[in-house]
Amino acid sequence: MKLGFVAFPKPPEEYLDFAVEHGFEHMEIDLFGPQQWLSKFHTARIRTLKRQIEERSLTVSFHAPYTLNLSDFIPEIRAANVQYVERLLNVACNLGAKWVTVHPGYGIGIPTLDWIRSKAMEGLKHSLDRLLLIAEKLQVPIALENINPAQPKSEILFLLDKAEGVKQLLSEYNSPMLKFCMDVGHAEISSGFTSFWAVVKERCIAMHVHDNDTYQDLHLVPGNGSINWHEVLTTLQRDGFEGVLNVELFLDEHKVAAKKFLEAILKGRGHAS
């Protein structure tokens, strides 16, 4: 089990020495901020960044922008999102990234209409059918992430916000390139860590780690919310999880505080990261 962090809001180059100084082993490059837009990962930058990563014995992954919608109802818009992820998979391959984390997308409409979710899921499957061919060719896994449920009466409906939806989708794909990134904070707002872990543990490659009050996606430092981290880490150790715990927090001091909090629990249980 490795401890890492999501590299945001600064460019990844500015986090390299930070990672080494604080003992992180992995860095997930978030592509939402302008300085990390995919178009800025040109050949020379990728070559230099790859060398810098290797010199520091780090591993990396990518996090696609959360606004991406692989489930869009409109085929032309969905196709543009798919093309973006295709480009990202190629950049990830060239950089030597271990996987690409992707949000599944969302539907928009009257929340009482059941077909909103089914139509969005249909769009996601169309996207995955295309993207997994690319992922298999490049040998770069796609890690889907569970999303916290939208607020009641919202006209936006997030996919994979419930454990049963995750289970159903994963059961339909046997590609070794389809993995899962479990967001522990998002799970807490839904049905909790245990229900999601039960359906993703065989394909879980990483976790996003942050805390909340069970109602809002607050991205608090672990230990400052409602999540039982002793239970989470005990379960991961018991089940032999060998992936990465990526702290997903904005401030650098919060990233470090979260790592220390997790390490204290792990070392208390006789496990060092």
Query: What would the pLDDT profile of 118-151 be if each residue is shown by its tens digit?
Result: 999 999 999 999 999 999 999 999 999 999 999 8
Residue 86 belongs to some domain of the structure: yes
Mean pLDDT, residues 161-179:
98
* Residues whose CB is less than 8 angstroms from the CB of residue 213 and which lie 6 or more positions away in sequence, other chains included: 225, 226
Mean pLDDT, residues 165-185:
98
Query: pLDDT at position 270, please?
Result: 47
Enter the tokens of residue 92. 């990830």
Q: How many domains does the chain have?
A: 1
Query: pLDDT at position 269, please?
Result: 60
pTM exceeding the 0.85 threshold for the entire prediction? yes
Residue 255 belongs to some domain of the structure: yes
Q: How far is CA 254 from CA 6, 223, 259, in A?
A: 12, 11, 9
Residue 273 belongs to some domain of the structure: no
Residue 103 belongs to some domain of the structure: yes
Q: Please name every residue paired with 204 in a beta bridge, in sequence order, or none if there are none.
A: 180
- Contact between 193 and 163 under an 8 Å Cβ cutoff? The reply is no
Q: Quick one: what percent of the chain has pLDDT higher than 70? A: 98
pLDDT score of 169 more than 90:
yes
Give the distance, in angstroms, between the CA of residue 268 and the centroid of all CA atoms in the same chain. 27
Give the Cα separation of 164 and 199 in Å (integer): 8
Residue 12 belongs to some domain of the structure: yes
Buried b (16+ CB within 10 A) or exposed e, 69-81: bbbbeeeeebeeb
CATH number of the domain that residue 169 is part of? 3.20.20.150
For the stretch 240-259, pLDDT in tens is 999 999 999 999 999 999 99
Rounded to 5 degrees, φ, ψ at 154 are -70, 150
Q: Hey, what amino acid is at 185?
A: G
Q: Quick one: what percent of the chain has pLDDT higher than 90? A: 93
For the stretch 82-125, pLDDT in tens is 999 999 999 999 999 999 999 999 999 987 788 999 999 999 99
Domain that holds residue 242: 2-268
Query: pLDDT at position 110, please?
Result: 84
